[in-house]
Amino acid sequence: MQTTQTTLDTAQLPQVHEPRNDGMPLDLDWVSTVQANTSAIERRAASLPGRRNVKKDFQAAWLCKAVSLMDLTTLSGDDSVGRVRRLCAKARQPVSQHILDALGMDGLTAGAVCVYHDMVETAVDALQGTSIPVAAVSTGFPAGLSPFHLRIQEIRDSVAAGAQEIDIVISRRHVLTGNWQALYDEMAEMRAACGDAHVKAILATGELGTLRNVARASLICMMAGADFIKTSTGKEPVNATLPVTLTMIRAIRDYQDRTGIKVGYKPAGGISKAKDAIVYLSMIKDELGDRWLQPDLFRFGASSLLGDIERQLEHHVTGSYSAGWRHAIG
């Protein structure tokens, strides 16, 4: 499996990190010029699944890459210490050892573990001795409608508890009413509250109405200092889609062209099949380049995806599909 091994060796190189996005002054002239050709974006997105098809060793390598970019997440009302510890154990070794041995690789871990604030300390303790960061959802997740001073304090509390990444939710009403100054000010204050922790801005794109709104909200959040822009909370009726992804990553590309700063991207919600992960990765590679295929610039927010990837990898190794229950998430 030389092809697989070569690709995976590359995936396991020491991680590099881009400089933080310090943002820039709000440029409403730039924002006003941002448009989205919805029909063209949808045509381009619809063409991708048929154009990008990898098999055998190449497929196994891409799927292992997807695992390394995954934020394993538990955001349920019945979360417990035991569940979070099991999830962290899965993040440490996301793929069964016999599969890794057959692929000739080791050192594969998930990209991060994402939890509510109350479980940050548990996750940090369970991941000691690894480089896997803990991400905390914050700012009144998922609606983002709690009093603003409480949202800011929640960020500070999660950072103090050890969270290295903060997933914040924007106020959708600012986008829907075109109040870009309010969105910029909100995002900038949240970014400041994060301190050294990286901040992912969740746009909740399924509630923004149009792709033009998605593009403009993406740009505003980057101007205000977001290190990542993220599609969804996973709680909306419509979460990550290929047209939304294309819109957001082209905004990232435009922002880099203008400022020289690379901003990360995280599709979240609705990505549950291994073949879908490969389509997303191929889109990122085509539109942004290989540099974005590293965990400091790309993440999947899709824990259920891991089970299907592990089944596909076992099929690659053994020739047989296993039952889904054999690959529990945690």
CATH number of the domain to which 249 belongs: 3.20.20.70
Contact 219, 29 (CB under 8 A): no
User: pLDDT grade, residue 324 (50/70/90)?
Assistant: low
Cα–Cα distance for residue pair 221/265, rounded to 1 Å: 12
Determine the structural domain holding residue 70 and report its residue range: 2-12+25-327
Q: Give the pLDDT of residue 327.
A: 66
Q: Would residue 114 count as lying in a domain?
A: yes
User: What percent of the chain has a predicted confidence (pLDDT) above 70?
Assistant: 92
- Specify if 171 maps to a domain: yes
* Tens digits of residue pLDDT in 208-236: 999 999 999 999 999 999 999 999 998 88
Catalytic member of 90, 262, 266, 308: 266
165-169 and 134-137 strand pairing: parallel
**For residue 18, is it within any domain?**
no
Least confident span in 148-157, 249-258, 264-273: 264-273
Segment 288-301, tens digit of pLDDT: 999 999 999 999 99
> Could you read off the pLDDT of 106-116 as tens digits, one per residue?
889 999 999 99
What integer pLDDT is reported at residue 10 of this predicted model?
42
CA distance 68 to 10: 12
Q: Is 230 a catalytic residue?
A: yes
Number of domains in the chain: 1
Q: Where are the beta strands (DSSP E) in the chain?
A: 71-73, 112-115, 134-137, 165-169, 198-202, 228-230, 264-266
Active-site residue, from 65, 90, 230, 262: 230
In a domain, 20, yes or no: no
- Is residue 15 predicted with pLDDT exceeding 60? no
Q: Could you confirm whether 235 is annotated as catalytic?
A: no
State the sign of the Cα–Cα–Cα–Cα dihedral 73, 184, 148, 161: positive
Examine residue 173 and state whether it is found in any structural domain, yes or no.
yes
Is residue 17 in a domain? no
Residue 110: both structure tokens together? 């998930």
Q: Is residue 317 part of a domain?
A: yes
Q: What per-residue confidence (pLDDT) applies to 13?
A: 43
29, exposed or middle or buried, with CB in 10 Å at 0-12, 13-18, 19+? exposed
262 is catalytic: no
Query: Across residues 46-69, what is the average pLDDT?
Result: 87
In this predicted structure, what is the pLDDT of residue 248? 98
Single out the catalytic residue among 71, 167, 276, 308: 167
Tell me whether residue 79 is in a domain: yes
Q: Name the residue with higher pLDDT: 324 or 98.
A: 98
